[in-house]
Structure formats: C-alpha cells, structure tokens
Structure 1
Amino acid sequence: MPISRLSDLADASLSPRLVIKVGSALLVGPEGVRRAWVAGLVAEIAEARRRGQDVIVVSSGAIALGAATLGLEKGGRGSLADAQAAAAVGQIALSGLWAQLLGGHGITAAQMLLTLEDLEDRRRYLNVTATLGRLLDAGAVPVINENDSVATQEIRFGDNDRLAARVAQAAGASAVVLLSDIDGLYDRHPKLPGAQMIPVVEGVTAEVQAMASTESNSGMGSGGMVSKLQAAEIAQLAGICLVIGNGQHDRPVERIVTGGIGTLFVPRGKAGARKAWLGGRLRLKGELIVDDGAAAALRRGSSLLAKGITAVEGIFSRGDPVAILDAGGRVLAHGLSEYDGAECAAIVGLHSSDQEGVLGYAPRSSVVHRDQMVMKSQMVTK
C-alpha cells in the first residue's frame, strides 16, 4: 500500500526508510547553532528508529558554520574560495553536533560527504548505495552533506534538496522530507493575496512548476521552491514520495505528520533502478536533436536510429549520457549513447545500410537503445 497522506510517514510498514533534509537556516541562526532545535529533531529521529524506521539525514550548515568561525562576509558565499574554506571548517563542527546529539540517544552517526560525480557516475553511485545499505543495516544514521570544500561551481549540486532526492534513490528510501522555511507549495507566491497551499501533488507538471518561486525566505540557503520541485521530479522517478514542510517549529516532523501541514508529492509510477538513476542525472555530456518522425517513434517506445537524428551537440564517448531533443529544443529523453560524438555526427540522417562505409564497421542496432533510455514522460508526469 503506497503512501497517500502525511500521517503515513510515521507508519514503518508504509515508510520503512526516510530521508530528512535540513536547511542551513534551520541549523544556524544569528547567534550560532540552534542546538535546542536540532536536539528536538534528533529526538524525533530516535522515535522513528524505535518505530522500526531507518533514517538518513541530509544536513546543510557547514558553510554557514564555518563562515561564522572564520568571520567571512556574505555567510561564506562571497566567492568559491570562501565557500570551500568555510565548508572545511564548518563540516567538523556540523558532524560533531550530529554525532553528539544522536549519541545521546544511543545512536551512531556516520558522516558521508558526496560530490555530484559520486551520484552521476554509475559505479560510484552503486558504491554509495552499498555503503548506505551497510550503515543502515549496522544501525547507524548516515548524515550526508555535499562535499563543498572540493566542489566547484561547474561540478556541484548547489543545493541539498536535489542531493537528498538522489540519496533517497540510492538508498531505496520510501520518502524524502525537505524541512525548509515554508509550509509547502503554494499556488502562487505565498506573499500574494489569496495564496493557497496545495496539500497533495500527483506528478510535477508544467502547471505545478509555474507555481514555484526561486526565493528562499531566509536568504541563507542556496535552494528555493524551484530546486524542491526538481527534487520531487528526481524522487518520483524511483517511486519515492517527497514532502515539503516547515522546519521552523519545534519538533517539525511531528507538526507535518500529525498536523497534516505540508505538501506531499505522490509519484504516479516508478522507473527501473537504472532508468531512475539515468533520468535523475543533472549533468549530461551531449545532445542529439531529432526530427518529428523520430520523436514520434520514441514516444511509441522505439530506440533512436541515426536516420532520425538531425544534429549532434557536445563531446562525448560511447556509454556517456546524452539528452535527446525534438526540433523545438524540448527534451524528449535521456539515454546512453552507443557511439561517441564524432561517430554520431558522421552518421546523422543515414540509414543503417549506409553507415558501415562511414564507420568502417557494421553499425550497432541503434544510437540509443530503448533499454538505455528514459523518456521525459517518465521523468516528469504530464
């Protein structure tokens, strides 16, 4: 029986494994660490564990903590160098806080610092999956953050909302709870007259995306409603529910669960594990633009043939992830290419019978096989 309401988050049979994401502004206030608030959340985590639920924490706050210690302006986000330095200092304090408070309940905390590449590369993604599984089996609570001390502007998540969703995919979680500075998703900016919170969302549609605001009320975090909807898209690929709730209250999870205050994103389907990983990727190596006939064939479940490709963009190797776009520039699918970029460009528009003379060997059955492809309709429910 799937999760259908917020109270189901406290049911171990429906939600055996939870990921809880905590934003920077919840952990760090003007006076420093909000220790009493964190202690209350840790008590809730301990209660969930006693109910038989596994819990993974995705915790922001390292940059904010380190910036305060080092006296850096703009919360440590004035430059990449400042952010990296602040993270290196703050992460020690952050992990120590979680370890001490969880330890007070007899729970072992385990720190994991991840980069974008750890979850974008298939082998490293599976390593993360194995490590998370072993830690949970051993009774630990993994506390995860992006490795901001080495992440660059070009290769990073940039917000822990999407990181939490990717971690949930890797861990096979039941639900992700994003604790933020707002009660949930509103049908318009919450400051506008008549704004209404939406309790349940079935699939992230274009209409739902139009409701998002890039603003964060705190000004401290790096995400906004846009990043939270992107996280919901990533989660739904793996059939994982996602909740947006307000963490500014004491015992915030209880307020969400028993008070029913939050937005629950319910996925309508579930892609296979490999396709969920592929569809949730944030960085692709290239693009294949296709004609209308190929676009229609892809929607019917066909593989992508060279005949239907009109242009190739980017530098990529065989096996690299690429986006497949229609003639209007809209993303149709993500897939793993059977050829490198130069080979793809050489056989654009050619029938299979004409490809051997160009390639110098018998062509493969397709440029992107349907088994190595996830359609946009699976990535975002219309």
Structure 2
Amino acid sequence: MPPTPMDRQKLKNSRRWVVKVGSSLVTARGQGLDRAAIADWCSQIATLRQQGYQIVLVSSGAVAEGMARLGMSKRPATLHGLQAAAAVGQMGLVRAYETAFGEHGLRAAQILLTHEDVSDRGRYLNARGTLNTLLELGVVPVVNENDTVATDEIRLGDNDTLGALTVNLVEAELLVLLTDQEGLYDADPRANPSALLVSEAELSDTRLAGMAGDSKGVLGRGGMRTKLTAAHWAARSGAATVIAHGRTPDALLKIARGEAIGSLLKPAQSVMAARKRWIAGQLQARGRLSLDPGAVKVLREQGRSLLPVGVTRVEGDFERGDLVICLDPEGREVARGLANYNTAEATRIQGAPSAEIGKRLGYPGEPELIHRDNLVIAA
C-alpha cells in the first residue's frame, strides 16, 4: 500500500530527520565558514532535540573552508587539489559544529562516508548501526562525503544524494534540504521573475522534472535537479522532503510547527524493504542488460525475476553479485539489480530458455539472471 502523503501538519509528528546544508549556506561568500549561520542551525537543532526529535546533519563546506584556509580564489581543477582542500577544510568544519553544539550541551560526531560504505552490504549495515547508536545516545551525527579519498569514479556525487542515502540508512521520516533558494519554482526564478514557488507537490507529478535545473554556483555541485532526485530516493523509505531557504529565520523550527515554508515534496510510492533500498541506492553500475519488450512487461507489471531469455544484449565488466542496469529497447532504465552471473556467463546465456542454460554454460546454473529479491524497478 502506498504511504499516506505527509502534509504540513503531519510533519509535527515526525521524529527522525536528516537535515542537509549546502556549501553556499555554510560558507561566507567563499571566505571560509559562516560560523554565525552554523551557530543558528545548531541552536535550532538543539531546540528540536529538546522536543524529542532525532537529527542527522549532512553538511557540505569542507572544500570551501579548505580553499579559504589555503588562500585559493578558485575551486581546484585537479582531483588531488580538491582532496587537499577537503583535508584542510574538514578540520575547521568539524570544529565549528563541535563548538556550536557544545554551547547547547550537545555532543556531535563526525561521520565520513564513501561510495564503498554504501555499496558494500556489510559496511552499509555497519554505518547504519553506528548512526542509530549515536542517535539513541543523544549525539548529533554530522555526515559528509570523505572527499579526501573519493575519486570521480567512486564519488557519491553531491550532498543532496548523500542526504537521501542517509535517510535510507536511518529510516528517517523527513529530509530537509536547506539551500540558497526559497524552494522549487515552476520556472527558473533567475530568468523568469513571474515564477511561482511550488508549496506542495506529489513526487509522482511528472511536471516536477521540468521545473528543476542544474546548479550555477561556484562552490556547490548540486542544483534543484539533484534535490528532486534526492527526494525520490528519500521516498523509498516513505520520507517526505522539504526544500527551504537556509537563511529563513527559524526555518527548521517553522517546518516542525507545520508552517508553509519552502517546498514540501510528498512520497507517492510504497516503502521499499531495507535490502531493496540498499540496492536502489547503489550509484555505480558495473554492467547493462538490454531487454526485449516481453521482459520489460514482465518486470514492470508482474514483479518477477529477470530470466536470460528476455536479454538481448550484455555490456560491461561485472562479476556475480555486482549491480547491473536493465534497459528497455529505447535505452531507458527499467530496473537495477544484482547479477547471478558474470559478464562472460551472461553473454553466453542471453536469450536462452531456462532449459538451455546448463547446456550453454557447461554446468548447472541459476534459472534467473537477476532474482526478484535482488531487483528494484525504476520509478
């Protein structure tokens, strides 16, 4: 059954939030951290904690702070330059939050995640357990991507994505994306002065995609498009998303009171099981499987496993258990899942009826190329 859409008043009953603040807010126009703003958000979170909320904070700003400390006027163009700036800046970022939360008698904890931490099932469960334990101890986890070791090939992408993955990790009820815009508009307000703020919307509304644009900021990597994607990912846990301006006075407290600030994006899909949320959150696919129309229909309408007979093409270099993307004849993603075979084996059995799998391989094999328990249908 689909979840009951969360309206503004029901936000008051939610108790576990993930709050993400972006680089444009955390930094003072590129001149290092805006400690006054950080102190204000920490004060609001302290108030929410007193009201019984559990908050995980996802914060950008390490690279921007490192740039300021190192006297850089432009974002480094090289990977090692970015990693060096992040390593220097992370020191200041953590200290700022520790000091600000300490003013309210709260302890903070630093959590740095990489793609491997969410792609490996064991490490994913370990991160989940650590975060849940910190919340039960009354600690505020401060999460960031580990930019000091992440490369483009294994990067989570941006902290909107990281915020959504954190929602899935801790099964939060609300994702709050604080940004330098009032929320999602029906057109780009920088180009269209008559653009209207979208106060509330169902994530199933196909018009939303046309409203979101990319970031034009110097410091950040995200934009409204990434925020909309993050909202869809958060919805897999049944969580709603609020996009709001982080400089609005008492923004977090107003959201908790059910006031109509920013854009509320409501989930319209059923909540995924924990294992399928983990699969859906994988960002690095190792291969691609092209499917015939019959296989596409079976996956979408019947929720069954993917059999080799419906596969028309195998691409990539994957091993058993790796994530692969399933595409329809037009190249659109239909599903993603964990393969029962490696690339060479999948190529041999593509298009084969189940009775022929053993003959083509030369040994008995699984009847499914991807079992339905390891398969997630694209939204």
How far does residue 113 in structure 1 lie from its aligned partner after superposition? 0.7
- Report the equivalent of 2:299: 298
| Equivalence map 1:129-144=2 (5 Å) | 129-144=128-143
Q: 8 Å contact 2:172–2:237 — kept in the other structure? A: no
- Report the equivalent of 1:226: 225
Cα distance in 1 for partners of 2:204, 2:21 equals 22
Cα distance in 1 for partners of 2:363, 2:47 equals 62
How far does residue 159 in structure 1 lie from its aligned partner after superposition? 1.0
Counterpart code for 2:295: A
Q: 8 Å contact 1:3–1:15 — kept in the other structure? A: no
Normalising by the residue count of structure 2, what TM-score does the alignment of the two structures yield? 0.94
- Report the equivalent of 2:325: 323
Cα distance in 2 for partners of 1:255, 1:79 equals 41
Q: 8 Å contact 1:115–1:146 — kept in the other structure? A: yes
Matched, 1:251 2:247: no
- Report the equivalent of 1:113: 112
Q: Please give the secondary structure, in 2, of the residue aligned with 1:196.
A: coil
Q: 8 Å contact 1:245–1:256 — kept in the other structure? A: no
Cα distance in 2 for partners of 1:81, 1:252 equals 36
Q: 8 Å contact 1:237–1:280 — kept in the other structure? A: no
With 114-123 and 338-347 compared, the bigger mean Cα shift is at: 114-123
How far does residue 105 in structure 1 lie from its aligned partner after superposition? 0.7
Q: 8 Å contact 2:338–2:375 — kept in the other structure? A: yes
Q: Please give the secondary structure, in 2, of the residue aligned with 1:178.
A: strand
Cα distance in 2 for partners of 1:317, 1:363 equals 15
- Report the equivalent of 1:167: 166
| Equivalence map 1:342-361=2 (5 Å) | 342-361=344-363
Deviations 1:128-175 (A, max 9, x none): 100001111111100011111111122112310000010110011111
Q: Please give the secondary structure, in 1, of the residue aligned with 2:99.
A: helix
Q: 8 Å contact 1:322–1:334 — kept in the other structure? A: yes
Change (3 A) 1:340 1:126: same
Counterpart code for 1:150: V
Which 5+ residue runs of structure 2 have no aligned equivalent?
A: none
Q: Please give the secondary structure, in 2, of the residue aligned with 1:29.
A: coil
With 244-253 and 129-138 compared, the bigger mean Cα shift is at: 244-253
Tell me the matched-pair count. Answer: 372
Cα distance in 2 for partners of 1:236, 1:374 equals 14
Q: 8 Å contact 1:102–1:108 — kept in the other structure? A: yes
Cα distance in 2 for partners of 1:231, 1:158 equals 11
Q: 8 Å contact 1:7–1:260 — kept in the other structure? A: no
Deviations 1:255-306 (A, max 9, x none): 4455411111111221111111212221111111110111111122221111
Change (3 A) 1:256 1:51: closer
- Report the equivalent of 1:82: 81
Cα distance in 2 for partners of 1:4, 1:239 equals 9
Change (3 A) 1:46 1:197: same
Cα distance in 2 for partners of 1:212, 1:183 equals 13
| Equivalence map 1:1-382=2 (5 Å) | 4-9=6-11, 11=12, 14-30=13-29, 31-74=31-74, 76-191=75-190, 192-216=192-216, 218-258=217-257, 259-268=259-268, 269-299=270-300, 300-376=302-378, 380=379
% identical aligned pairs: 43
Which 5+ residue runs of structure 1 have no aligned equivalent?
A: none
